[in-house]
Structure 1
Amino acid sequence: MDQRNVTRITQIHLLGFQIPLSIKFFMFFLFLLIYCVTICGNLLIIILVSYSKSLHSPMYFFLSQLSICDILLSTGILPNMMRTVLVKKTIMSFSECLTQFYSLAMTESSECLLLTVMSWDRYLAICKPLHYSLKMNYQVCCILVILCWILGIFLLLTYSLTISNLQFCGPNIIDHFFCDFDPIIQLSCSDTTIARLEATVLGFIVVVFPFFTIFVSYSYIIATILKIPTITGRQKVFSTCSSHLTVVFIFYGTLACVYLAPNRGQTQTLNKLLSLLYTVVTPMVNPIIYSLRNKDLKNAIRKFINNFSRIHFNKY
């Protein structure tokens, strides 16, 4: 056994972003603002879907589950990242680092699968409208959501079994703003060939195959929309899925660049920025994209604000 294995990693130093001292507090408050907007926006979606009867449909039920994923994803990243901005380097135990990675892997994989389910929901609604209510009832929606979370947990268990068989002996510095698979694997002094191969296979299962499914679904959806004779009709139908399509391209595009594209020639700073898009930016913009481009959500927000204001003023 290599002599380095005698010294086992117990702590991890996360370097985060190398931010100049002059803008340290500005970046801290920027990330704090992003976190508040993310939590409030996604909580608003969850409350609206529960509160408004007009949003009691499969599409909005899946959207509320996506909001839960976004809250978990941003909560696992941003508080720790804000601390890193202030102190320049965050120290955490190795077990905390692995826990962060496992929770993010589960959330990201569940979100990928949820986006796939949402595309299938739009396919049935637009291409098979007569069978939609039969095939996409409340029971089916619940089963699909539970399966997404179960498969996410399965991925977590697979990663944990793989990483538990590796030896980690340092160095204990991670040049990233969170504990991701590749930075953790680089700390190992064992042979990581199987672990990397397994990660690639799981990446294809969770990222490539769902994206291909979404691509096929939207190919049929677009073909169906083009058959609609009037431009107004096309715009009305396409508006029901344009928000989802925008979110899919942002989320899957950055995931593919980070996990599936070769890392050669890709600087660590670029890798961090791409990771920032799907871990921080996407959870924030998801509720904004859906709210701005969806009339039902706009109306639900308006009614919610009016009712809240009426109740508040009646008290006085």
Structure 2
Amino acid sequence: MNQEITLNLDIFAEQFLNIEESLQDIFASRVPLVQDIGRHALLKQGKRLRPLIFVLSCRLCNYGGKDIYALSTIFECIHAASLLHDDVLDNADIRRNRPSANQIWGNQAAVLGGDFLFSKALSLALGAGRIEFLKTLTSSTSKMTEGQILELEHTDNWKLTREQYMEIVRGKTAALISSACECGAIISGVASREREALAGFGLNAGTAFQLIDDLLDYTSSEEVVGKPVGKDLLEGKITLPLIYTLEGFEAGEKNRMVEHFMNGQADAEDRKKLIRAVRTGGAISRVRKEAQGFVDEATACLRLFPDSPTKKHLLQLNGYITKRKF
């Protein structure tokens, strides 16, 4: 893997430009507030991983339809809708270094804005003209919701296991990325073998992406990731870095600390100490190694495809996941 290229997203400049232009067409509404919330959620330079991976999956399968970029916005709309809803559920006031939509317009408007983006995504998916496309997409959104509900159910569950955590990750994050890859295969009309391979690629890459996201919550800074460091801990979300850190504590120490947090007695200094323990106790390298394992699995899924510039780009994007800083 060429690390220099892996870390340089400029190789996707043309795709990003076309995606941005297509997103401009999303906001057709007679209601100005709908347009304001939609633009706030969509036009402030997210990573665009989901539409990009759809475009590359289509290209890998030799699809050259003119609708490729319009269809790619489906996955960014669903992602943005989920973030609007997440910020309401989490009472978040910052998203990507800006006030969140719910902070500006209130919870009700933010939820309805998310509903609008979701309905736009379904409308665009109908335009694909393939029932399997729509079935795959709606299945992934059901899994997303289940993953988010599982996460909510396990809030402040300090006994959360790795297996339970992975079930959450596969649902709330990996399912949509897998769907973007699989829908690229569906619209291209390739055989089931290629379709399954791309779905597996997306599932593994998406899992690695979330592991790194949870790692960055402990290791990065608010200026870089656009949200407070330790936000997951503050919200009672038990993620893999914390699970592995807790495994290294002696039973008595672990029980005292968990009781302290669950009883609401933990303060900012307690959280800082725990974040330090995550950073210094070996959990970070362990999670990064596990994420790399999923990246390697994703790479293996593409072996049946012949070498091509698009395959190389997908592999470079896959390699970027564990190197990213935000």
Alignment TM-score, normalising by the size of structure 2: 0.34
Larger RCO of the pair (alpha carbons < 8 Å, separation 6+)? 1
Q: Which has the larger radius of gyration?
A: 1
Alignment TM-score, normalising by the size of structure 1: 0.35
Structure with higher helix content: 1
